[in-house]
Amino acid sequence: MSASAENNAPEPRPRLRLETSRRNWFWPIFLVLLVAGIAFGAYYLPSSGIMGSSNEASGALTYEVQRERLLISVTDDGNVESASNIDVKCEIAGGGTILWIVEDGKRVTQGEEIIRIDTSAIEDQLNAQKIVYEKALATKIETQEAFEAAKLAVQEYAEGTFLQTLQQMEATIKIAQQNLTTAQDMLGYSKRMSRKGYVTALQREADVYAVERAKLDLEVAETSKRVLTDFTKQKTIRELEAARDSAEARMRSEEAAFQLEKARLDRLEKQLVNCVITAPQNGMVVYANETDRRGSTETGIAEGTIVREGQTIVRIPDLAKMQVKVTIHESKIDRIRTGMPARIVIQDRTFQGKVTGIANQPEPTGWFSANVKEYGTIVSIDGTQEALRPGLTAFVEIQVADIRDALTVPVSAVVEQRGKYFCWVQTSLGPERRPLTLGQTNDKLIEVLDGVKIGDLVLRNPRAVVADARIVADEGPEPLAEEEASDEESASGQSSPSDKRPSGGPTAGGPPAGAPSGGSVRADPFQNDADKDGKLSRDEAPAPMKNFFDRIDKDGDGFITRAEMSASRAEREKSQSGAGAPPSGGPAGGPPRS
């Protein structure tokens, strides 16, 4: 038995080596065949359409439709400012030069000196004006005295000189009458004596002439009295009254001239006082630097700066009443109403507020962003506002609507095709397209009024996994007509093919000689990026781009990036350059055949 055991013991070893050798070859061959099968399936099956919906469904992200609270808001950045500012202006005629000014941002108290303006020019004007003022005062006094004298002259004549002259004339008349009576008595006596022979004829004739002369003297005296009362009195009074009125007019004229010179003197004295400006209230001093349309400082407030009359030098805000000014893009301003609640974040502090004002006109813009229209919107800040400073950056979220029980889907799940909106619902037979009636959106979720129901699983990225979601038409392949391509290229900032070639038709190898290589340059659509996040939402996109928004938005997140824009251009150029016959050896789009 020992011999038999020795002969039988070595027999199993060759079989072990053979089985080990077979196992060592089996696994490499199996792995090679497996890899070849996977490569074959990955290469041929997608193009042949055998995998169909199962391949499209791979990598799909879904969202279960549900009812939830939908907050619609508009967000933007703004600057903190005071709701009550007091502007401190230059009140010096012709302006002046700032000699000294308190530092910007310093807190001051009411009555504290904050600005001092050069007074040398005003002092020279003030000294010259004092001389003119004194001359006007002297002239005024002279005309007042002349007027008083003229008034007294009228009274003097009417109540004194005239009566005195009248009395003298009446006395003359009485004397003339007495002389006439005496002459007549002497004539009668001469006549009686002449008859008796005692008086000569010559003496009698002399008495007759004496009577005649006495009558003439009486008539002259009576005429003088009548001329005095009827003519001289009125003429003299009128002359004196005219002189009085003229003196009064000169007096009023000189009075006005004096008041004018006095006002000038007072104004210069006030301007001299205004050269030293004090704080009208407690607060913080903020320089009123003016900026140009490009945003750079055009007029800086500093010592030595010349300021014009009426120019605001500094502002003193009321730090107890602060607000935020935000600029809202024109595509969103129609959704804003006064009284809407807002959430404000300033340096990690959250405040509540509300919209208190919306501008009727857009904010001034520079020529770099002339096509961007933004409207100033004022948001008040509620609660304690301690430690808030004007100029701080604030994040503002204005609540436009609050829908308590909204049926929602993600923004990325909605695809616009020819002015209609669709989504794709995951079913047992694969993705199913559903037309939608949409409500409001907050850029993350969209309210669905009709088209889906609670519990439906909608694809979050339909353009990435469903071929129908990537076409523009409702059904069939996408027709890339020259007009559509031109519109899309115009929307993406690229020249259309018609811009790149003459009307005679395309030429191989580029534009003809003499034509511009590259066509006309179009505006960059990213200048409409209102929130400056480097992406374009559907609201921010130009009108031509909205027709091709879903085609350019490759990842279906509702925003277009510059990378997606460049990829869309490259894809379009590739399709235009390779739109001829398929390469030899196989059909277009498939692998070459041997």
pLDDT digits (tens, 9 = 90+) for 392-411: 899 999 998 888 889 999 99
Among the residues of 492-582, which ranges form H helices?
A: 497-500, 543-546, 549-552, 562-577
User: 150 and 260 in one domain?
Assistant: yes
In tens, the pLDDT along 530-583 reads 777 878 888 888 877 877 788 888 888 888 888 888 888 777 777 655 444 333
409 within some domain? yes
User: Is pLDDT above 80 for 179?
Assistant: yes
Average pLDDT (90-112) is: 90
Query: Which DSSP category does 113 fall into?
Result: E
* 201-204 long-range contacts, CB within 8 A, separation 24+: none
- The reply to whether 578 falls in a domain is no
pLDDT at 367: 58
Identify the domain containing residue 151 by its residue range: 120-272
C-alpha triplet 245, 250, 251: angle, nearest 5°: 95
CATH label of the domain that carries residue 430: 2.40.420.20
Give the tokens for residue 336. 């804003």
Q: Are residues 259 and 162 in the same domain?
A: yes
Q: Are residues 427 and 546 in the same domain?
A: no
- Give domain status of residue 362, yes or no: no
Do residues 215 and 134 both lie within one domain?
Answer: yes
Surface-to-core class of residue 470, CB atoms within 10 Å of its CB (0-12 exposed, 13-18 middle, 19+ buried)? middle
pLDDT at residue 474 greater than cutoff 50? no
DSSP letter assigned to residue 538: T
pLDDT in tens, 193-214: 888 888 888 888 898 999 999 9
- The rounded percent of the chain whose pLDDT value lies above 70 is 76
487: three-class secondary structure by DSSP? helix
Residues 152 and 237 in one domain: yes
pLDDT the model gives residue 28: 67
Cα–Cα distance between 584 and 568 in angstroms, integer?
27
Give yes or no: residues 235 and 130 share one domain: yes
Phi-psi region of 495 (alpha: psi -120 to 50; beta: other; left: phi over 0): beta
Report the DSSP beta bridge partners of residue 81: 323
Which secondary-structure segment (H or E) carries 205?
A: helix 201-227
- Provide the CA 29 distance to its chain's centre, in angstroms: 77
Residues 6+ apart with CB under 8 A from 168: none
Rounded Cα distance, 156 and 149, in Å: 10
What would the pLDDT profile of 417-443 be if each residue is shown by its tens digit?
888 999 999 998 889 999 999 988 887
What was the pLDDT predicted at 32?
A: 67
Within a domain: 29: no
- 458 with 538, same domain: the answer is no
Q: What is the pLDDT at residue 358?
A: 93
Q: Are 240 and 143 part of one and the same domain? A: yes
What is d(CA 131, CA 137) in angstroms, rounded to the nearest whole number?
10
In a domain, 289, yes or no: no
In a domain, 247, yes or no: yes
pLDDT, averaged across the chain:
78
Which pTM does this prediction carry? Answer: 0.46
Boundary (domain end) residue, out of 442, 472, 502: 472
pLDDT at 368 (0 to 100): 57
Please give the distance of CA 338 from its chain centroid, rounded to a whole number. Answer: 18
What domain count does the chain have? 3
pLDDT value, residue 470: 83
Band of residue 479 on the pLDDT scale cut at 50, 70, 90: very low
User: How much of the chain, in percent, has pLDDT values that exceed 90?
Assistant: 41
CA distance 341 to 242: 78
Let me know how long the chain is: 594
- For residue 134, give the CATH number of its domain: 1.10.287.950
Taking the chain, what is the end-to-end CA distance rounded to the nearest angstrom? 68
> Does one domain contain both 146 and 241?
yes
Decide if 363 contacts 530 (C-beta within 8 A): no
Q: Do both 129 and 255 map to the same domain?
A: yes
What does residue 63 show for φ and ψ, rounded to 5 degrees?
-140, 130
Say if 204 falls within a structural domain: yes
* Last-in-domain residue among 221, 247, 272: 272
| Residue 45 counted as domain residue | no
DSSP code string of 375-439: EEEEEEE-S--TT--TT-EEEEEEEEEEEEEEEEEEGGG-EEETTEEEEEEEETTEEEEEE-EEE
Q: Three-state DSSP class for 307? A: strand
Task: Give the pLDDT score at 369.
Answer: 58
Query: Does residue 469 surpass a pLDDT of 60?
Result: yes
Last residue of a domain, one of 422, 437, 472: 472
Average pLDDT of span 221-235: 92
